[in-house]
Amino acid sequence: EYDPIKQTIIYPPELLINNKNYPTDSWTNVNPHILSRLGQNLHRQKNHPLYHLTNRIRQYFYQQKDPRKQSPKFSIIDNLSPIVTVQQNFDSICTPNDHVSRTKSMNYYINKDTLFRAHTSAHQVDLIRSGLNAFLCIGDVYRRDSIDPTHYPIFHQCEGVQLFNKEELFMENRNVRGEKDNLQIFASNEYRDATKQEGHTLEAVKLVEASLKQTITDLFKTLFPNAATLNSRWIDATFPFTHPSWEYEIEIDGKWYELLGCGIIEQSVLENSGLGKDYIGWAFGLGLERIAMIMYGIPDIRLFWSTDSGFLSQFQFEDSTRPVQYKPVSAYPQCINDLSMWMNKTRIDPLDLYDLVRSIGGDLIEQVLLIDEFYHEKKDKHSQTYRIIYRSMDRTLTKNEINMIHKDIENHCQKQFDVEIR
Ligand code: FA5
Ligand code: MG
C-alpha cells in the first residue's frame, strides 16, 4: 500500500519473515519481490549453475591442506541466514557511520537495526570469533542497484578469509643456515601509507598479499581452462575493512569484468574478532553470478532464477567440472516503453524507481535506463524519462500484456512519488 502524502509504502507495524516478527520503522524498505525470493538458496540447489560453480570453488579450496594436520585448511559455510544486523553488516567490519554503503537507497532494510546482508563480509567477525582461521562463506546478498543484464537485486557472493600467525606466515622464510630470520608481523613504529596499515611490517604485508593474489589467480586458472589466454589485472580499490585493497578484473572480448574485491584485513576488524594481537590476514569477496555468466556463457543474470526446463536441463549433470556452454533456447523479442514524468516536489532517486519497476514487472524487466532528466525553471519542476525494456526469458510477450504492466507501473509511480505522467 502507498501513502500518497508521505510518498512511501505503508508497512504493517510488524513483518513476519521466516517465522520471526520484526517491527517496522522509517527504515523499512523491503518489498514483496525480495521477500518472495527468500530461502531459495540457488547455490545449494542441485544442478543449478551456481551449485556447480560453488562445487568447483569448494574443490579448489579443499585441496589446500594444513601442512601439519594434512586436513583441509578451509572450512566452508553456506547456510547462514541472510537477515543480519547493522552491527554485523557494517559496524563489525569498521564501516564509518556516514559511509554511503549504509544508506537506505542502497540496501533492503527490515528496520533500522536489521537488513538483508549486502555482502558476505557481514559474517567475517562472527566466523573468526568462532575459531576459524581459514574459511569460505557463501550466500545470497541483497542490494538496491541499477537494472540491466548484469545486475539483479539478489546475487550471490563467496567470501574467503585466511589468517596467519607469525609461525605460519614466515614458515618458509628461513635463512641460509636453516634458521628463521627474525621476521615480525607487527612493529610499533610503523606508519600507514598506500602499501600498508600502521603497525604492520612491510615484509608481513607483502607475504600476505602474495598469498592472496596467488590463491585468486590459481582459483581462476582452475575455473577457466583458457585462463592463460585471458588478460587480467589488479586495480587499487578501497574498502572500509581492508587496506591495501584491490579488485580483480578479466578481459573478455575487449570488455573488462570486475570479479571480486579483496585486501589485507584491517587490524581493527581482527581486534573486533578477538585476534588482533597475533594474526594478520587476507579477505576476498567474489560475485558468483559474474563468474558463472562468463564460465557458462549465460547472457542475462535473470536466467539464474529461471524455472524453465530449457534453462535448467542444460545443467543436469553430476560432474561439476564438466565444461558447458549455455545455448540460448531462443531470444524472445524486446518491447520498449518509455515513462516520462513531472515531479511535483522532490526529484525521484532512480534507485527508488528501479525498485518499484522490478516489484511490479518482476523478471519481465530486462533493463531500465534513465534517458532524460532536466529541471524546468518556470514550472519549478523536475522531469525524468525512463526507458523500460521488457523481455521474457521463456516466451514472447503480447503488446497488451506489456501495456497492462506499464500502466500499473505508471499508477504506482503516481501514488508513490507524487508525479504527473506525461
Ligand atoms: C564487496 O561486496 C566486498 N564485501 C568485497 C570484499 C570482501 C572486499 C572482502 C574486501 C574483502 P563489491 O561491492 O565490489 O565488494 O562486490 C564484490 C563483487 O560482487 C563484485 O566484484 C561483483 O563481482 C559482485 N557484484 C557486486 N554488485 C553486484 C550486482 N548488483 N549484481 C551482481 N554481482 C555484483
Ligand atoms: Mg566493487
The CA 118 to ligand 1 mean position distance, Å, reads 9
Per-residue pLDDT tens over the stretch 29-46: 999 889 999 999 999 999
Confirm whether the ipTM is greater than 0.90: yes
Separation CA 119–CA 286 (nearest Å): 10
Residue 155, ligand 1, Cβ within 6 A: yes
At 182, the pLDDT band (50, 70, 90 cuts) reads confident
Measure the CA–CA gap between 386 and 39, rounded to whole angstroms: 32
pLDDT at 10 over 90: no
pLDDT at residue 362, as a whole number: 93
In degrees, rounded to 5, the angle at the alpha carbon of residue 337 between the alpha carbons of residues 335 and 340 is 165
% of the chain beyond a pLDDT of 70: 95
Which range is least confidently modeled, 126-140, 176-190, 221-235? 176-190
pLDDT at 307: 86
pLDDT per residue as tens digits for the range 263-277: 999 999 999 999 978
**Residue 11 near residue 23, CB atoms below 8 Å:** no
What is the three-state SS of 311-328?
HHHHHCCCCCCCCCCCCC
pLDDT of residue 7: 47
Q: How confident is the model at residue 23 (pLDDT cuts 50, 70, 90)?
A: very high
151 Cβ below 6 A of ligand 1: yes
| Per-residue model confidence (pLDDT) at position 171 | 79
Q: CA 173, CA 176: separation in Å to the nearest integer? A: 10
Nearest CA to ligand 1 atom 12: 261
DSSP label of 61: H
249 lines ligand 1 (CB under 6 A): no
Return d(Cα 387, Cα 281) in angstroms, integer: 45
Chain CA centroid to CA 146, Å: 13
Quick check: CB of 354 below 6 Å from ligand 1? no
Q: 224 is written with which cell numbers? A: 577457466
For residues 238-246, average pLDDT: 98
**Confidence (pLDDT) at 173:** 59
3-class secondary-structure state, position 178 = coil
266 lines ligand 1 (CB under 6 A): no
The closest residue, in CA terms, to atom 19 on ligand 1 is 287
Q: Is the CB of 93 under 6 A from ligand 1?
A: no
pLDDT, mean of residues 274-281: 92
> What are the distances in angstroms from CA 43 to CA 294, 321, 348, 390?
17, 16, 35, 27
CA of 373 to the centre of ligand 2 (A): 27
Three-state DSSP state, 76: strand
* Residue 120 CA, closest ligand 1 atom number: 4
What atom in ligand 1 is closest to the CA of residue 153?
30
**Domains of the chain with CATH codes:** 32-302 (3.30.930.10), 330-421 (3.30.70.380)
Which pLDDT score, from 0 to 100, does residue 277 have? Answer: 85
Q: What percentage of the chain's residues is helix, strand, coil (to nearest 5)?
A: 30, 30, 40
Ligand 1 pocket residue status of 124, Cβ below 6 Å = no
pTM of the model: 0.88
Percent of the chain past pLDDT 90, that is, above it, reads 81
Residue 384: which of 337, 410, 411, 421 has the closest Cα? 421
Ligand found nearest the CA of 245: 1
The owner of cell 581482527 is 270
Locate 422 and state its grid cell.
506525461
Instruction: Please state, rounded to an integer, the average pLDDT across all residues of the chain.
Output: 92
Residue pLDDT, tens place only, 76-133: 999 999 999 999 999 999 999 999 999 999 999 999 999 999 999 999 999 999 999 9
34 CB less than 6 Å from ligand 1? no
